[in-house]
Structure 1
Amino acid sequence: MTDNRPPAIAAGEKDTLIAFHRYLREAIIRKVEDLPDTAARTPGVPSGTSPLGLIKHLTGAELVWLEWAFLGRDPFPELGMDVTETDTVESCIAAYRAAAARADEIWDSLDDLDAVSAREDRTLRWILVHTVEELARHAGHIDILREQIDGQVGR
Structure 2
Amino acid sequence: MPGTPHGNRRRDTPPPRTGNSETEVLRGFLDYLRTSVAAKVDGAPEPQVRTTVVPSGTNLLGLLSHLTFVERSMFLGEDVTSWEATFRTAPTDSVAEVVAHYRDAVERANDVLDRCTDPGAPVLRPRSARPAPSVRWALTHMIEETGRHAGHADILRELIDGSTGR
TM-score normalised by length of structure 1: 0.88
Distance between the aligned counterparts of 1:46 and 1:83, measured in 2?
18
Q: Among residues 48, 54, 67, which one is paired with 2:57 in the alignment?
A: 48
1:93 lines up with 2:104 in the alignment:
no
Output the amino acid matched with 2:157. R
What is residue 42 of structure 2 aligned with on the other side?
33
Structure 1 letter corresponding to 2:101: A
Q: How does 1:2-41 map to 2 (within 5 A)?
A: 2-41=11-50
Q: Which of 105, 108, 113 pairs up with 1:107? A: 113
Point out where structure 1 has 5 or more consecutive residues left out of the alignment. 69-74
1:141 to 146, 149, 152: 152
Give the distance between the partners of 1:39 and 1:86, measured in 2 at CA.
14
Q: Give secondary structure in 2 for the equivalent of 1:37.
A: coil
Q: How far does residue 83 in structure 1 lie from its aligned partner after superposition? A: 2.1
Tell me, in whole angstroms, the C-alpha distance in 2 between the residues paired with 1:27 and 1:116: 27
Q: Which amino acid aligns with 1:132?
A: I
Aligned position for 1:76 = 79
Distance 1:143 1:33, change over 3 A: same
Aligned residues: 149
CA distance in 2, matches of 1:145, 1:130: 23
Higher relative contact order (CA 8 A, sep 6+): 2
Identity across the alignment (%): 41
Deviations 1:77-115 (A, max 9, x none): 575111221011101001001111100100101111112
Rounded to whole Å, the distance in 1 between the matches of 2:164 and 2:39 is 11
C-alpha displacement of 1:37? 2.5
Task: Return the offset for 1:120.
Answer: 4.1
Cα deviation for residue 121 of structure 1 reads 7.2
User: Which amino acid in 2 is paired with 1:33?
Assistant: D
Runs of 4+ in 1 over 3 A off after TM superposition: none
